[in-house]
A and B are shown apart, each in its own frame.
Chain A
Amino acid sequence: NAGVMQNPRHLVRRRGQEARLRCSPMKGHSHVYWYRQLPEEGLKFMVYLQKENIIDESGMPKERFSAEFPKEGPSILRIQQVVRGDSAAYFCASSSTATRNTIYFGEGSWLTVV
């Protein structure tokens, strides 16, 4: 299965800890997106990255959240000093230039902050 791979699927963190979510895009895809889905809400765009570059981070909270997509390895969404309001499903998606704006999602990472 060469789909978008996310891990961990489920993550529990105490308030104040750090959460790291990983995403490996589909084979041949060089564009990565992170979306967040809060309970009872739709999917909210967070950030769009290409290798070693953040293209659009207009949806990222100004503090505690960061994302990277290094030359080697998966994309990482990092949340520092987590709070209860960070509890959500975080979805990674990827696309290639050939697929234009059709992005393909991973299974998601469910973060629970206790």
Chain B
Amino acid sequence: DQQVKQNSPSLSVQEGRISILNCDYTNSMFDYFLWYKKYPAEGPTFLISISSIKDKNEDGRFTVFLNKSAKHLSLHIVPSQPGDSAVYFCAASGGSTGGGADGLTFGKGTHLIIQP
């Protein structure tokens, strides 16, 4: 039972264009969402997060949008750069506050390829 789904295993985008990575979730208790970026043979790196009280959070070239009614979030990267080529994981948590008593539920990831 996958509670966090990233339906596109891979995505190819031209350098300079916008990359849009999508994520759907099923658990209505989730109230905090994160995106991580992962290069091969390295650990995931935290990118950006959003609380369910917001519908948008922006940090430089990265913007995360949350649509609670559709249980959908997306990560926009603009403009896309070669160094953005990596696997992007969507993650969600819910319930209690504090130091992460819930743990995070991850999607399977989307491999983003930025073409020159």
Asked if B25 is an interface residue, CB under 8 A from chain A, the answer is no
Which residues of the other chain, A, contact B104 by a CB distance below 8 angstroms?
33, 45, 101, 103
B106 touches A97 (CB 8 A): no
Is A114 in the interface zone, CB < 8 Å from B? no
Give the total of A residues in contact with B, Cβ under 8 Å.
32
**A17 contacts the other chain (CB 8 A):** no
The B contact surface, by secondary structure, is loop
Given known contacts A42-B109, A48-B100, A56-B103, A106 and B43 CB-to-CB distance under 8 angstroms:
yes
Q: Mark B89-106, 1 if CB is under 8 A from A, else 0.
A: 101010001111111111
Q: Which residues of A contact B (CB under 8 A)?
A: 4, 6, 30-31, 33, 35, 41-45, 48, 50, 55-56, 59, 91, 93, 95-97, 99-108, 110
